[in-house]
Amino acid sequence: MEKNDERLLPMVSDLTTCESTQQMLEKARKDGITTAWDRAVDMKPCPIGVESACCKMCHMGPCRLNAKRPYDKVGVCGATIDTIMARNFARMVASGTAAHSDHGLAILELFRDVAAGQINDYTIKDPIKLEELCNSLGISTEGLNVQGMAQALYDELIKTYTQLNGEIPFVRRAPEKTLELWRKHGLVPRSAPKEVMEMMSRTHMGCDQHYENITKQISRTALADGWGGSMIATELSDVMFGTPSPVLADVDMGVLKENMVNIIVHGHEPNLFESMLATVNDPFYVNIAKEKGAAGINLVGMCCSGAEMMSRHGIPHAGNFGSTEAVLVTGAVDAMAVDIQCIKQGLAEVAKCYDTHLITTNPRCMIEGALHIEFHEHHPRACTDEIVTKAIARFATRTKPVVIPKKSTKGVHGFTYEYINYMLGGSFRGGFAPLNDNIINGRIRGVAGVVGCVNPRVKQDSVHVALVKELIKNDVLVLQTGCSQISLAKNGMLTPEAAHLAGPGLREVCEAVGMPPILGLGSCVDNTRILIAATAMVKQGGLGNTIADLPAAGAAPEWMSEKAIAIGQYFVMSGVYTVFGVSFPIVKNTKFHDLLFNGLEKQGFGKWGHSTDPIEMAHMMIDHIDKKRKALNIDKARERTLVDMADRRQIQE
């Protein structure tokens, strides 16, 4: 601890392992600026709320139960700890699902208007993927041109939002046995709004008060996120803006340039960012910037839309959720344009202190103290042109000293299901057979998705990095998205050279294919790429009949948002053992906890896990992978492979 003003503040090196963020937090303290890190010190988590042992669903309370003796008390209405926790969990899932599905709907409506020729600023960049998506849903494309296919796909996918009965379309892409299991338990979502509405209605005071029944609706709602809203967002963004393929990109605050107009886009919907890209490449604006003495305009991303644009276009990325206030402390940001989700209100105050324009663009997300310039898809450039004009003006009149951390790290990003298919099999015999073969023969022990937020309650990036290193060391291939991917990228781990940190089997495969042991897939909605890749592994054969049979696991070790809980639940219900870090918002030794952590697995789904220690977390996942290998009867192959490797090394020596 060090003395700072009258308060005792932790050393910045105890808060984050990100050196750039450390440097900026030091500067913020000197400048008298408060960030989320300081507020997290002041604001101790409520010991009752942190485990969801309180209820404010009505005004007879709020009721607080005792998390240490959870069955000693009930709420005024008689609600038990299991009802209270299930309802709280349900509302987190409803909110997370709503956020992703709202994003998906915005993309779907944009897709409709672009396909109909009503918007000329965007196009259909990947007609092959458009056709593949139609095929995956059984839509006949015979005789249809691009516009016809797009119309047919829209007509099908809009059911994700309009249906009151039936099944959302994308569940048809799931493995047959997984879909059967969902149907058997009555979990196939009808539509995202229907499930979210029912979730909110069921959790109203005096309604659903059986934790098992609430959990069914939790699961159906979460599946509407993963196989509905999120999947639509990813797939149609690919169709309109291009399906990513591996691209080299720089990550960390060193991507800011003192002699350029720096513009950061931070948020989740790629349409704002795509339009910003068009504006900053417009010679008209580049010339104005140069006339004002800048070397050019430097467009940089943060958080999820940043990860998405990095994957698609190699746009540099300044950092993850933990660093969004810190980056403004550089004084180098001439404008930060935000859209929706994961945008801290605290940004407004920090931006004000450094004369940075903080600009909200979406009617769903305004911030007191920020400038609002609304973005309209039908004439997107009006908004982004105005933002760039303001940024250039701020550059020309910079008054604050500029201090930019020097560090930035190159890595390979932009992997997708489509590219993995191609990478492993080549263009003539693309497929998942080589991946499955390498899992079956044991070179690759299994696959893990490590995703999600960073959270000022844990040392930024530290758990992500230690967990992923331990996984690859044990021959587990890691797939990443979102803030987690940025944590590893800053540490130089998204490169083929990182294979030297992998176990012998995984290293051999990576070296043969020339791929990193950690594949970056993009933003949080792009977690659906993991669902599609897992499905392809099942359909390829040899690794069981459902996603739950795969030697696979998932983790969100530094989670903080409701979206993360929704994602966790849809992975669990798709069949994946999913381990969360930080704290888990459920009291242990309760029936609801047991259902999430054990009961769901007995029904054939995945299950939840929790640990704050990255090494323990890794081994919980590895043990699960080994359990699945044993069930598939491929555990012996791995032992043989490892003996082979050791023998081979001995011979070489």
- Report if residue 579 touches ligand NFS, rule: CB under 6 A: no
Residue whose CB is less far from ligand NFS, 563 or 624: 563
- Report if residue 342 touches ligand NFS, rule: CB under 6 A: yes
* Interface positions, 130-159, toward ligand NFS (CB under 6 A): none
Stretch in the footprint of ligand NFS (CB under 6 A) among 15-23, 84-92, 231-239, 556-564:
556-564
Residue 304, CB-side half-sphere exposure with 13 Å CA sphere: 28
Element (H, E) at 9: strand 7-9
Q: 333-338 and 446-450: which strand pairing? A: unpaired
- Give the contacts of 521 (CB within 8 A, at least 6 positions apart): 311, 415, 416, 479, 480, 481, 485, 527, 529, 530
Residue whose CB is less far from ligand NFS, 320 or 535: 320
The residue from 561, 569, 574, 641 that contacts ligand NFS (CB under 6 A) is 561
Residue whose CB is less far from ligand NFS, 134 or 564: 564
The C-alpha atoms of residue 375 and residue 83 are separated, in whole angstroms, by 42
Of 520, 442, 521, which Cα lies nearest the Cα of 474?
442
Residue whose CB is less far from ligand NFS, 436 or 574: 574
* Interface positions, 585-644, toward ligand NFS (CB under 6 A): none
The C-alpha atoms of residue 289 and residue 36 are separated, in whole angstroms, by 33
- Report if residue 190 touches ligand NFS, rule: CB under 6 A: no
The C-alpha atoms of residue 161 and residue 191 are separated, in whole angstroms, by 5
* Cα distance from N-terminal residue to C-terminal residue, the chain: 50
- Report if residue 303 touches ligand NFS, rule: CB under 6 A: yes
Cβ proximity of 226 and 170 under 8 Å:
no
CB of 313 to ligand NFS, least distance (A): 18
Stretch in the footprint of ligand NFS (CB under 6 A) among 15-23, 40-48, 344-352, 557-565:
557-565
CB of 333 to ligand NFS, least distance (A): 17
- Report if residue 304 touches ligand NFS, rule: CB under 6 A: yes
CB of 555 to ligand NFS, least distance (A): 13
The residue from 319, 346, 452, 517 that contacts ligand NFS (CB under 6 A) is 452
The C-alpha atoms of residue 445 and residue 434 are separated, in whole angstroms, by 14
Backbone angles phi, psi at 100, to 5 degrees: -65, -35
The residue from 483, 536, 617, 621 that contacts ligand NFS (CB under 6 A) is 483
The residue from 270, 442, 482, 551 that contacts ligand NFS (CB under 6 A) is 482
Residue whose CB is less far from ligand NFS, 22 or 341: 341
Residue whose CB is less far from ligand NFS, 275 or 455: 455
Tell me if the bond preceding 10 is cis, omega within 30° of 0.
Answer: no
Backbone angles phi, psi at 496, to 5 degrees: -60, -30
Site string for ligand NFS, 510-539 (x = CB under 6 A): --------------x---------------
The C-alpha atoms of residue 136 and residue 171 are separated, in whole angstroms, by 10
Give one DSSP letter per residue of 214-278, joined into a string.
HHHHHHHHHHHIIIIIHHHHHHHHHHHH-----EEEEESGGG--TTSEEEEEESS-HHHHHHHHH
Interface residues toward ligand NFS, by CB under 6 A: 303-304, 320-321, 341-342, 452-453, 482-483, 524, 561, 563-564
